[in-house]
Amino acid sequence: MTVPRSTLRFQLHKGFTLDDAAAQVDYLASLGVSHAYASPITTATSGSTHGYDVVDYARVNPELGGEEALRRFVEKLREHEMGLIVDIVPNHMGVGGAENAWWQDILEWGRHAAHAHFFDVDWHSPDPALRGKVLAPFLGAAYGEELQAGKIKLAYRADEGRFVIEYYSNVFPVCPVDYPAVMQEAPELAQRFSGLTTQPADQPRAADARTALATIAQTEDGQAAIEAILAAHAPDTPTGRERLHRLLERQHYRLAWWRTAADEVNWRRFFDVSTLGGVRVERPEVFEASHALIFRLFTEGLIDGVRVDHVDGLAEPREYSQRLRARLEELPAQRPEALRHGNGRTYFVVEKILARGEPLRRDWQVDGTTGYDFMNDVGALLHDPDGAQPLAALWAELTGRSSSFAEEALIARRKILAENLAAELDRVTRALHRFARDAQTTRDFTFTSIRRVVTELVVHFPVYRIYPVGGVRSAEDERYFSQALDAARASLARADHVVLEQVAQWLGGKLPDEAPASQPERSERSERTECPRDRTADRNRDRNHAQAPAGQNPPPTSGSQRRAAQTLFSQLTSPVAAKAVEDTACYRYGRLISRNEVGADPGEFSLSVEQFHDGNQERFTAFPHAMLCTATHDHKRGEDVRARIAALSQIPDEWAATLKQWSTLNTPLRRGPEGGHGETITNGDWSPGPAAEAMLYQTLVGCWPLTLDPDDAAGVHELAERVAQWQLKALREAKLRTSWFAPDEAYENACKDFLFDIVAPQRREGFLRELSAFVGRIGPLGAMNSLQQTLLRLTSPGVPDLYQGTELWDFSLVDPDNRRPVDYDQRREWLADIEAKGPPSEQLANWRDGRVKLAIVRRALALRKHCESLFAQGDYIPLKVEGEQAKHVIAYARHAGSAYAVTIATRLAAPLLDATSDVPLVDPHKWGDTSIVLPEALHSRALFDWLSQNAPKAEGARLLIRDALAVMPVALLVEEGVPKA
């Protein structure tokens, strides 16, 4: 397997194309990166800034430069002996607008479309208005309003001979079966479409008829006929509007207000995003169609590995991963000889959120995760456990909200399930209710009682999802399911316990042999209410469409129904966890927002050195090539923002006093309920409110640039604009006084006004000066956290990943702020300067500009290249630290053969740092007798610091910290004889 030494993530879009990435390859090579790591390269919705709204799996995105640009990029990489990892999106596609041909196909032909089974659509909705249709929740207001306003129109596409419904940028095809009804004003044209059905055999005839129509419509008479048809459906007259409405009612979709999706959508979405439709990649034909381009690019030698986005959204993550692994192992033999992998394995990682103690399943045959678990570990390590209780008490005192994140998360889960994912909850419940009706012992379990039970299981589910094997929960699954089961049992009335126990059995418990009372194919009532033209021979197979095992299409047995229900349940717990925890509770709870990150549990405040070592050793044993990240395109705060906010955990009393002082200082600037000054304010009913204000101060402390002067009005205003963008998203995601669903613009504007007031130029001698001074005081602590985090990522077991631009200080906020353009020219210039001046220690005096971080990244990556096997396969050895300041040090060694590399970092240094210190470095004498116990093999060897000119000498088994960290807060010790970079 070709394992990357390190990766650097590029966010590609039309403003930063593949050619732009190619222009930075020489910089990446100088930095020491072995592989570029690109966001999705398949064609996405026009203007997409992230690429996850794929509309065409078969083409490299033209906005990125297309396949030719990809080839130029790879050619440049190969010149520097570098590879390319690409992000792939098998779970969902963009379905808004009109660019997705697969989605347009099912809108046009319904269940008989060639791609009807490519998306996870419930064609048998219990709602008669949606039976055989898909909900199209893309209207900006209620259907009747938009129709009356003339915003929904019939249009004709002359180049295609096609009638469509237009609504702004959205296009909805008219089924050709309805063309005769549409073309009543031109019966001679309509004849070509008479007798058509939706059956696949008739669809080619429809295409031929459209081609003929396109030709005829170019004539003068044809144009007149088309104009008459469109006029007859014009929405500006009652007759035309009614006729247009009747036409819409006959289509395979129901146009609806976007707000209806939460309650009525009958197809799987990505989380609650109604412009992203779930793809049924578990079906072999869908798997091949959605991966064909990636497989071809791999065999041609253009890509070297894949990162799979949101693997938990898939029906069967295990089967998908195993299938992808098998295909990736088949392909290397077809690659150019120089690029063939030695053992046939291809680098393959998955985006997976893991709870504390939750393992990534080894039978998936992946190389690990994309690194959120490491980001969580190292982030928690930066926090002082002694700050947990006083900061939680401070949060509760200031805001009146719970000091427990778990309580906040539970409230958020209930809200998300009830308001954002109600349709998905109903779908799970229906699947279980159908199953209940098939057995005599459960036929009286009502839909409502099952819904109550499922609700409690979901809101108490401690991980993203389970992964039953053969329909049965594994021991690992059972560990988490039982937690949810116990909590649900405690929450539900006793009368529901029998239903709960049965549902638990259906969701992966071992069932006793039981013959169902009956298994009707479909009820007669269902048959009568279906649209006649949608009745097909495969109706019974469709009933159980909701996730058959890969490569199989089982008959509708109780086993397949049970597996379908399990899949639907897992595809509900996953988005509930993401939306409730990451996108709601994390914006409500603010003990320290440095722990409110993707993949983290804010309720877990800190991690001990021993726990961090345990995590690294587990990773080394199970997934030694997993990615290690501390910043991503999804992070809520940049890695150095989090590192600085984490420093507050070391000074909880000082932070509490500061926070209260600032709140008092800015009290006159608060807005009342109506958003104005001078209003009567009671019970915290003011803008932004105590919780939002406290989180705002943390954000300002975290992202204030180290070089920003309060007198720089333009610089402060630019920062305020960025923070305002974060604030708006944070307020809406919290879903308390405003939301994306129902924005309260008056409140939002009042919050923005408060922000700009407190940082206005006239406050430069007040709050601004205090803010800047406070950041100046804790800046060295934050920097030490940052450098510790950086070195641990670069030397721990796994593949270190750099997110674009984070080689310097990363004071970014949530997207789109964390996807701003990167100044590569500056980084290239500074890298050359760093190389000329020597080791990173030469940059410490000017640490505020971030060059010391860049220097550490470059030097550590150089060592990984010089000693590749040491870091790729070397053992991980925690080192014991002894002495009076032992808790302020973390140390470990990497060992392979006779080679060693020792990582040492300062941690939780507030008690050791002089109040007047302007450099992130502990005075050596303050370390006292603190020392590291070295492995016996290093007792007599000469060591030097790869990051400085320092050469600390061990005294037998002990290496004194005052010597090892004399000139830098971190050290990377190797033996003499390793070539210096």
pLDDT digits (tens, 9 = 90+) for 755-799: 999 999 988 889 999 999 999 999 999 999 999 999 999 999 999
Do strands 92-94 and 899-906 pair parallel, antiparallel, or not at all (unpaired)?
unpaired
The number of residues in the chain equals 981
Residue 688 preceded by cis peptide, ω within 30:
yes
The reported pLDDT for the residue numbered 976 is: 72
Instruction: Specify the CATH architecture of the domain 7-91+281-370.
Output: Alpha-Beta Barrel (3.20)
E strand map for 587-634: 627-628
Taking residues 301-316, report their average pLDDT: 96
- 378-387+596-776 folds as Arc Repressor Mutant, subunit A (1.10.10)
3 state SS for 833-863? HHHHHCCHHHHHHHHHHCHHHHHHHHHHHHH
Query: Which two three-digit tokens encode residue 127?
Result: 């709602």
Report the SS3 class of residue 135.
strand
Locate CATH 3.30.1590.10 in the chain: 101-259
pLDDT digits (tens, 9 = 90+) for 374-432: 999 999 999 999 999 999 999 999 999 999 999 999 999 999 999 999 999 999 999 99
> What is the DSSP track for 262-290?
HHH--B-EETTEEEEEEB-TTSHHHHHHH
Is it the case that residue 981 has pLDDT exceeding 70? Answer: no
Is it the case that residue 562 has pLDDT exceeding 90? Answer: no
Is it the case that residue 553 has pLDDT exceeding 80? Answer: no
Superfamily of segment(s) 823-975 = Golgi alpha-mannosidase II (2.60.40.1180)
pLDDT band at 332 (very low <50, low <70, confident <90, very high): confident
The reported pLDDT for the residue numbered 977 is: 62
The phi and psi torsions of 591 (rounded to 5 degrees) equal -50, -60
Instruction: Choose among 328, 908, 400: nearest CA to 690.
Output: 400
Name residue, tokens 């940059």: 843
Instruction: Choose among 738, 729, 745, 774: nearest CA to 583.
Output: 729
Residue 952 burial by Cβ neighbours in a 10 Å radius (0-12, 13-18, 19+): buried
Q: What is the mean pLDDT of the chain?
A: 92
**Alpha carbon distance 349, 800 (integer Å):** 13
- Residues 473 and 466 sit within 8 Å (Cβ to Cβ): yes
524: Cα within 13 Å, side-chain hemisphere:
0
The reported pLDDT for the residue numbered 342 is: 56
- Residues 931 and 883 sit within 8 Å (Cβ to Cβ): yes
Return the axis-axis angle of helices 497-506 and 475-491, rounded to nearest 10°: 160
Taking residues 297-321, report their average pLDDT: 96
Output b/e per residue, 786-813; b: 16+ Cβ within 10 A. Answer: bbbbbbbbbbbbbbbbbbbbbbbbbbbb
pLDDT band at 136 (very low <50, low <70, confident <90, very high): very high
Locate CATH 2.60.40.1180 in the chain: 823-975
Output b/e per residue, 380-402; b: 16+ Cβ within 10 A. Answer: bbbbbeebbeebbebbeebbebb
Locate CATH 3.20.20.80 in the chain: 7-91+281-370
Is it the case that residue 697 has pLDDT exceeding 90? Answer: yes
Question: CB atoms < 10 A from the CB of 79, how many?
Answer: 11
The reported pLDDT for the residue numbered 511 is: 61
- Residues 137 and 274 sit within 8 Å (Cβ to Cβ): yes
- Residues 740 and 729 sit within 8 Å (Cβ to Cβ): no
Superfamily of segment(s) 101-259 = Maltooligosyl trehalose synthase, domain 2 (3.30.1590.10)
**Alpha carbon distance 453, 865 (integer Å):** 55
Query: Which two three-digit tokens encode residue 500?
Result: 């709960």
Q: How far is CA 658 from the centre of its chain?
A: 34
107: CB partners within 8 A, 6+ apart: 134, 136, 172, 173, 251, 252, 253
Output b/e per residue, 747-760; b: 16+ Cβ within 10 A. Answer: bbebbbbbbbbbbb
**Alpha carbon distance 736, 725 (integer Å):** 18
Question: In one letter, which amino acid is 318?
Answer: R
Question: In one letter, which amino acid is 529?
Answer: T
**Alpha carbon distance 236, 241 (integer Å):** 7
Do strands 943-945 and 970-975 pair parallel, antiparallel, or not at all (unpaired)?
antiparallel
The reported pLDDT for the residue numbered 674 is: 66
368: CB partners within 8 A, 6+ apart: 349, 350, 360, 619, 623, 624, 625, 626, 627, 798
pLDDT band at 138 (very low <50, low <70, confident <90, very high): very high
pLDDT band at 716 (very low <50, low <70, confident <90, very high): very high
Q: Which residues pair with 945 in a beta bridge?
A: 973
The reported pLDDT for the residue numbered 561 is: 81
> What is the DSSP track for 678-718?
T----TT-SBS-HHHHHHHHHHHHHH--TT--TT-HHHHHH
* pTM score: 0.93
Instruction: Choose among 350, 300, 353: nearest CA to 325.
Output: 350
Please tell me what DSSP assigns to residue 75. Answer: H
Please tell me what DSSP assigns to residue 641. Answer: H
Locate CATH 1.10.10.470 in the chain: 378-387+596-776
Residue 405: which region, alpha, beta or left (left: phi > 0; alpha: psi -120 to 50)? alpha
Is it the case that residue 947 has pLDDT exceeding 90? Answer: yes
The reported pLDDT for the residue numbered 678 is: 55
3-state helix, strand, coil in the chain (%, to 5): 50, 15, 35
**Alpha carbon distance 909, 781 (integer Å):** 7
pLDDT band at 676 (very low <50, low <70, confident <90, very high): low
State what percent of residues in the chain have pLDDT above 90.
87
Taking residues 186-207, report their average pLDDT: 93
**Alpha carbon distance 6, 20 (integer Å):** 20
**Alpha carbon distance 268, 270 (integer Å):** 7
pLDDT digits (tens, 9 = 90+) for 67-83: 999 999 999 999 999 99
The reported pLDDT for the residue numbered 831 is: 96
**Alpha carbon distance 257, 602 (integer Å):** 35
Residue 816 preceded by cis peptide, ω within 30:
yes
Helix (H) or strand (E) holding 771: helix 767-795
pLDDT digits (tens, 9 = 90+) for 571-618: 999 999 999 999 999 999 999 999 999 999 999 999 999 999 999 999
**Alpha carbon distance 39, 309 (integer Å):** 10
Taking residues 425-448, report their average pLDDT: 94
**Alpha carbon distance 850, 809 (integer Å):** 5
883: CB partners within 8 A, 6+ apart: 927, 928, 929, 930, 931, 961
Query: Which two three-digit tokens encode residue 446?
Result: 């009502």
Please tell me what DSSP assigns to residue 888. Answer: G
Name residue, tokens 């090539």: 625
**Alpha carbon distance 954, 941 (integer Å):** 9
Instruction: Choose among 322, 148, 850, 269: nearest CA to 575.
Output: 269
Taking residues 172-188, report their average pLDDT: 95
Report the SS3 class of residue 813.
strand
Taking residues 216-231, report their average pLDDT: 94
Mark out the alpha helices in 438-492 (DSSP H runs).
447-459, 475-491
**Alpha carbon distance 201, 840 (integer Å):** 70
Q: Which residues pair with 139 in a beta bridge?
A: 257
Q: Which residues pair with 802 in a beta bridge?
A: 8
